[in-house]
């Protein structure tokens, strides 16, 4: 595969949660293309196995293990399998994450008449379980795999964790308060963990992707006929580089962060990859 630059990860074991997804699937492929032994941890055994098989067909080393990042036992079982088949974890990518429709509002702003309209989900209709789902998946789904795999990484040369936050951690996006808050927690936790792990040689950083069209957000961004929604057009207007990101555009930042020679003193940062969306005030 085409990499922005080559780094050598031969014999490194990389665990990629959410590794069957659009963004982290590409990350898993890239790490394998650099020689890493990759474990894909995600929901659905078939999806995990398919992604691992595709990496093996391309000449890489990979295994797929169905894992729920919110279930400590499931993580433990995956960990044991990885230890037996690949070895201790060197690099953990916490990519599993996502949103839930019950943690979002229909409209950007609240108007009095919306309160009388059953079709409109306002702030007052946000569902506790929906909000909880989003916080669990993004925040606990980062913390629990870190607890499981960081044990392997203590004082291991080049050990590092990369969390996947979002540009909305800096400034919340309208309609998705749970997802914005949960990703803010991921960025904050990245800083906390970097400090906590600084005496045992584990660097912890994050990437904050901007807008990438993926399965997760496709319905918010594309109409049924494939044209952009009003929200998508607004995003493009607010993105100085005027396009949505492609998964490939995250890879250079990922390889930089996992490469100890390049980023060995970079710790506790969250790097936006968003075409300057988060830097633009709109004026
Ligand atoms: N798509 C975007 O524009 C965008 C922007 C910013 C941040 N992100 C973040 O990037 C990451 C990857 O996004 P994506 O669009 O590639 O995701 P995706 O929706 O394509 O895939 C989600 C992945 O997470 C896994 N997953 C979900 N729940 C899980 C659980 N309980 N246990 C284990 N795995 C679970 C799925 O199996 C899948 O592999 C996510 O953390 C997402 O929040 C995405």
User: Which residue's alpha carbon is nearest to atom 41 within ligand 1?
Assistant: 97
The residues assigned a catalytic role are 179
Distance 25 CA to ligand 1 centre (A): 10
Alpha-carbon gap, residue 264 to 7, rounded angstroms: 14
Ligand 1 atom nearest residue 23's Cα: 16
Q: Check whether 283 has a pLDDT greater than 80.
A: yes
Q: Provide the Cα torsion 118, 122, 124, 125; round to 10°.
A: 60
186-238 pLDDT, tens digit each: 999 999 999 999 999 999 999 999 999 887 788 878 999 989 999 899 999 99
Determine phi and psi for 51, rounding to 5 degrees: -65, -45
Distance 24 CA to ligand 1 centre (A): 7
Q: Which residues contact 259 (CB under 8 A, 6 or more apart)?
A: 7
Among 64, 97, 136, 171, which is best to mutate for testing ligand 1, by the most ligand atoms less than 8 A from CB?
A: 97
Alpha-carbon gap, residue 103 to 87, rounded angstroms: 39
DSSP 8-state symbol, 43: S
Distance 121 CA to ligand 1 centre (A): 24
15-34 pLDDT, tens digit each: 999 999 999 999 999 999 99
User: Which residue's alpha carbon is nearest to atom 13 within ligand 1?
Assistant: 23
Ligand 1 atom nearest residue 179's Cα: 43
Among 22, 23, 71, which is best to mutate for testing ligand 1, by the most ligand atoms less than 8 A from CB?
A: 23
Tell me which fold the domain 13-210+251-273 belongs to.
Rossmann fold (3.40.50)
Q: Which residues are near ligand 1 (CB < 6 Å)?
A: 17-18, 20-24, 42-43, 67-70, 95-98, 137, 141, 164, 166, 209, 211-212, 214-217
53-77 pLDDT, tens digit each: 999 999 999 999 999 999 999 999 9
Which spans in the chain are helix H?
A: 22-33, 45-57, 72-85, 128-135, 141-153, 177-196, 218-221, 230-238, 251-258, 260-263
Alpha-carbon gap, residue 78 to 240, rounded angstroms: 42
User: Which residue's alpha carbon is nearest to atom 34 within ligand 1?
Assistant: 42
Alpha-carbon gap, residue 127 to 131, rounded angstroms: 6
For a pLDDT cut of 70, what percent of the chain falls above it? 100
Q: Which residues contact 118 (CB under 8 A, 6 or more apart)?
A: none
Tokens of 246: 């492609």
Burial of 98 (0-12, 13-18, 19+ CB in 10 A): middle
Distance 95 CA to ligand 1 centre (A): 6
User: Which residue's alpha carbon is nearest to atom 31 within ligand 1?
Assistant: 68
171-194 pLDDT, tens digit each: 999 999 999 999 999 999 999 999
């Amino acid at each position: 595969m085409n990499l922005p630059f080559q780094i050598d990860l031969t014999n490194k074991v990389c665990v990629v949660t959410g590794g069957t997804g659009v963004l982290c699937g590409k990350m898993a492929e890239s790490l394998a293309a650099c020689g890493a032994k990759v474990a894909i941890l995600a929901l659905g055994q078939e999806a995990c196995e398919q992604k691992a098989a595709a990496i093996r067909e391309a000449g890489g080393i990979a295994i797929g293990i169905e894992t729920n990042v919110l279930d400590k036992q499931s993580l433990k079982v995956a960990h044991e399998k990885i230890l037996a088949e690949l070895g201790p974890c060197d690099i953990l990518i916490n990519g599993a994450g996502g949103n839930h429709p019950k943690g979002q509002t229909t409209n950007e702003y609240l108007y009095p008449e919306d309160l009388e309209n059953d079709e409109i989900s306002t702030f007052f209709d946000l569902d506790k379980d929906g909000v909880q789902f989003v916080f669990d998946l993004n925040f606990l789904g980062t913390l629990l795999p870190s607890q499981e795999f960081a044990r392997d990484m203590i004082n291991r040369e080049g050990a590092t964790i990369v969390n996947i936050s979002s540009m909305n951690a800096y400034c919340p996006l309208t309609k998705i308060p749970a997802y914005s808050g949960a990703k803010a927690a991921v960025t904050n936790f990245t800083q906390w963990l970097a400090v906590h792990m600084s005496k045992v040689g584990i660097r912890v950083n994050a990437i904050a992707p901007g807008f990438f069209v993926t399965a997760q957000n496709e319905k918010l961004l594309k109409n049924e006929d494939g044209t952009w929604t009003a929200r998508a057009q607004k995003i493009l207007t607010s993105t100085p580089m005027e396009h949505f990101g492609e998964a490939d555009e995250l890879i250079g930042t990922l390889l930089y962060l996992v490469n100890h020679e390049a980023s060995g003193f970079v710790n506790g940062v969250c790097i936006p990859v968003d075409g300057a969306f988060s830097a633009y005030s709109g004026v």
